[in-house]
Structure 1
Amino acid sequence: MEKKQLKQLEIPKWGTYLRGRWRECFASHLSLKEQQEIWLNDFLWHLCSWEKVKCLKQDDAITAFHQQAKHKCTIFYQFIDDAYLYEHADTLTIKDLPYIEGDMYYKTCM
């Protein structure tokens, strides 16, 4: 991380909790049966690929991430149990993240 004021704090073993919260926030309109039918427990992004929510993809998603106001945010991944809390995250870019391969999710902290 360059000379940014960006601060990163690793939060060990929070991945499961955050993935559950993500499902509560974005998939609560689906029954448990509907969630199982799209394999949501295996891949959170299935909510998007099965078009159960509106979402941005690929370059549009990256652009929106960079433009999002995010003084604080939490980053978590599909298959990694650690999460990361970022403070002074307004300058956070994809290149700053510890893992750029695979499925990444974030939540801004208001």
Structure 2
Amino acid sequence: MGSYLQYRWEQSIASHLNKSEEEEIHLYDKGRICGFLWHVFSYETVACLEGEQARGRLDQMKNMSCYIFYEMDAAAYIIDRVTSLKAIDFERESDIYVVDVDFTWTYIRTHEPPWYNPYFYHHKEVERR
């Protein structure tokens, strides 16, 4: 299930990248370089909220269903009708993705704190660069 959700996430958030751009930002593993989907944010190809703004925006999310999955793991979770999510719930996680079931918003906590953490993207709130 995790692989499928990664694919859907990529199609929803990173589909604007061509192959050359994907390679440039190390979206996928290649040779000795480890790729990560969240590179769309760290390389600023998609505008997003970062740090405390990202945490605050996730804390505002209410009454929704979402998926939770990891970049390096096949595990995935479906959370149905959660009343609220809190960024603090994910502070000990790394390379974790939280996304609504329609893939319109996502929250990511990477393995590289404090440099690249966390990110929040909502397709209606930010524009692609």
TM range (shorter): 0.7 to 0.9
Deviation at 1:18, TM superposition (A): 0.9
Spell out, residue by residue over 1:2-49, the C-alpha distance to the aligned partner (whole angstroms, 9 max, x if none): xxxxxxxxxxxx111111111111111110221122111221111011
Runs of 4+ in 1 over 3 A off after TM superposition: 94-97
Aligned CA-pair RMSD:
1.9
2:24 aligned residue: 37
Mapped partners of 1:59, 1:90: distance in 2? 21
Match of 1:58 among 38, 51, 73: 51
Normalising by structure 2, we get a TM-score of 0.65
Q: Which has the higher contact order (CA 8 A, sep 6+)?
A: 1
Of stretches 46-55 and 73-82 in structure 1, the one that deviates more from structure 2 is 73-82
* Counterpart contact for 1:48–1:54, Cα < 8 Å: yes
Seq. identity, %: 36
- For structure 1, the 5+ residue unaligned runs are 1-13
- For structure 2, the 5+ residue unaligned runs are 29-34, 103-129
Answer yes or no: is 1:19 the counterpart of 2:9.
no
| Structure 1 residues 70 and 31: CA distance shift in structure 2, 3 A | farther
Counterpart secondary structure, 2:94: coil
**Any residues of structure 2 matched to 1:1-110 within 5 Å, and which?**
14-41=1-28, 42-96=35-89, 100-109=92-101
Q: Quick check: which has more Rg, 1 or 2?
A: 1
Structure with greater strand percent: 2
Structure with greater helix percent: 1
